[in-house]
Amino acid sequence: MADQPEEDKKSGGPGILIPLIVMTLLSAGAGLACGMFLFAGSNKEVETAKEAKSAKSADKKKKGKGGDKYGKKKKKKGKHAKGDKDEDSEDVAKKPPVNRILEVPAITVNVGKTKKNWIRLELKAVTSEEKLEDEAVLLHRVSQDLVSFLRNSDIKDLQSASGYYTLRGDLNEIVRVRSGNKISEVLIMGLIVE
């Protein structure tokens, strides 16, 4: 009787090895087929992007920029020569708006219902406007809104990283609403909670 279980164990070894090898080969083949299918689409996209880029550069060469073979500019007659665009107007249209940073007065305020806890907040405001009408007045109004928000907030809300993130989001929303989207965001330069 003791001999029968040993024979069963020996006969089961090679029987499991063959299906394991077959499954491994099938898995490798399926992986190869999926990889070829997925990467075939991305290669076509790369090729079409290269073709589009080369077509654009060919168009630019055909148009030319009025230069001779040494890269020097040829002089045009008058301000514009037959339908040519002014190069300065193209540069202005392509330039992104420049962000300006405005100094917001530092805010020191008691937080919550207790008089023990206070916050000092130093901020800078980011705007893409070249000039804001009544800039000082707008910054003062923003500062007052932030003071009223901080007075009504609880110190427990600011004691974690997620609390800081939430505070930053709330300050940005208050500033955008008060400025009528003239100020895009607020940068927190300093935050002291005591």
In Å, how far from its chain's centre is CA 134? 31
**84-127 pLDDT per residue, tens:** 555 555 555 556 667 888 898 899 999 877 778 889 999 999 98
CA atoms within 13 A on the CB side of 85: 9
Name the pLDDT band for 59 (thresholds 50, 70, 90): low
Q: Do 110 and 52 share a structural domain?
A: no
Q: Do 104 and 181 share a structural domain?
A: yes
Task: Please indicate, yes or no, if residue 123 is contained in any of the structural domains.
Answer: yes
Task: Please indicate, yes or no, if residue 32 is contained in any of the structural domains.
Answer: yes
Q: Quote the pLDDT of residue 135.
A: 86
Task: Please indicate, yes or no, if residue 86 is contained in any of the structural domains.
Answer: no
Q: Do 157 and 110 share a structural domain?
A: yes
Q: Which domain holds residue 49?
A: 13-65
Q: What is the CATH number of the domain that holds 167?
A: 3.30.479.30
Tell me the average pLDDT of the chain: 76
In total, how many domains does the chain have? 2
Contact 139, 105 (CB under 8 A): yes
Distance between CA atoms of residues 172 and 161, nearest Å: 17
Contact 132, 101 (CB under 8 A): no
Q: Quote the pLDDT of residue 61.
A: 56
Task: Please indicate, yes or no, if residue 2 is contained in any of the structural domains.
Answer: no
Q: DSSP of 20-73, one letter per residue?
A: HHHHHHHHHHHHHHHHHHHHHHHHHHHHHHHHHHHHHHHHHHHH--SB-TTSPB
